[in-house]
């Protein structure tokens, strides 16, 4: 009888069950952290690839027409003259740069299409301090005097996930960082323009 009783008593103890649950929880948290890091890298790669494509198109436009394309806001002599790079953004909106709400510019997009076309760079809104980016913007903006002697420049600006994220594009530099959520705003100065 003793042998049968010992055979029936081979289940898990409470301590063993707790250990299994703890191990599963640790594995799940490691997987989640890895997945979040993968999502961040994938998002940043998508934005950088989109910005590189537009930068190449804009530089090709300049090489062909001997000047950079102008935005409708620039032609209207607005001080901050930035617009979305591409079309297809939710509500045609791609952020807030230097206090100005930024939207798609059909006339600019049509002009740029003489060289190449592209869609939205991203549909995710990233806030960086007082600015917000959905994809990337192009146009004239105020910049530090260290970036332009006049304090104004024709720029491409975009945001990446992660604090101190590498802007990765040649001549791009990070100009704003945010801790929560961790984001980095990047800027490419294409040319200095007269003070506005």
Using alpha carbons, select from 68, 44, 38, 59 the residue that is nearest to residue 185: 44
DSSP symbols for 63-94: HHHSSPPPPHHHHTT-SSEEEESSS--GGGEE
Residue 3 lies in a domain: no
Residue 155 lies in a domain: yes
Domain count, the chain: 1
Write out pLDDT tens, residues 80-118.
999 999 888 889 999 999 999 999 999 999 999 999 877
Structure tokens, 106: 């059909």
pLDDT band at 44; cut points 50, 70, 90:
very high
Residue 1 lies in a domain: no
Write out pLDDT tens, residues 17-36.
677 777 776 666 666 555 56
Cα separation, 81 vs 100, whole angstroms:
9
Residue 7 lies in a domain: no
The mean pLDDT of 53-77, rounded to a whole number, is: 96
DSSP symbols for 94-127: EEEETTEEEE--HHHHHHHTTT-----S-S-EEE
pLDDT band at 145; cut points 50, 70, 90:
confident
Q: Which domain holds residue 69?
A: 14-192
pTM of the full structure:
0.81
Residue 163 lies in a domain: yes
Using alpha carbons, select from 74, 193, 94, 67 the residue that is nearest to residue 142: 193
pLDDT for the residue 6: 54
Percent of residues, the chain, with pLDDT higher than 70: 86
Residue 99 lies in a domain: yes
Structure tokens, 166: 């590498």
């Amino acid at each position: 009888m003793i042998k049968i009783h010992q055979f029936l008593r081979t289940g898990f103890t409470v301590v063993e069950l707790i250990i299994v649950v703890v191990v599963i929880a640790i594995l799940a948290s490691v997987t989640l952290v890895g997945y979040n890091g993968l999502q961040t890298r994938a998002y940043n790669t998508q934005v950088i690839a989109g910005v590189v494509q537009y930068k190449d198109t804009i530089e090709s436009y300049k090489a062909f027409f001997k000047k950079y394309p102008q935005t409708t806001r620039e032609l209207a002599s607005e001080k901050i003259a930035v617009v979305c790079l591409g079309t297809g953004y939710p509500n045609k909106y791609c952020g807030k740069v230097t206090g100005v709400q930024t939207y798609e510019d059909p006339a600019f997009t049509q002009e740029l299409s003489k060289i190449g076309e592209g869609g939205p760079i991203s549909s995710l809104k990233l806030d960086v301090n007082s600015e917000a980016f959905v994809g990337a913007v192009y146009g004239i903006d105020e910049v530090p005097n260290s970036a332009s002697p006049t304090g104004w420049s024709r720029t491409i600006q975009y945001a990446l996930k992660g604090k101190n994220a590498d802007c990765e594009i040649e001549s791009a530099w990070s100009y704003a960082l945010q801790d929560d959520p961790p984001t980095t705003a990047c800027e490419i100065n294409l040319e200095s323009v007269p003070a506005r």
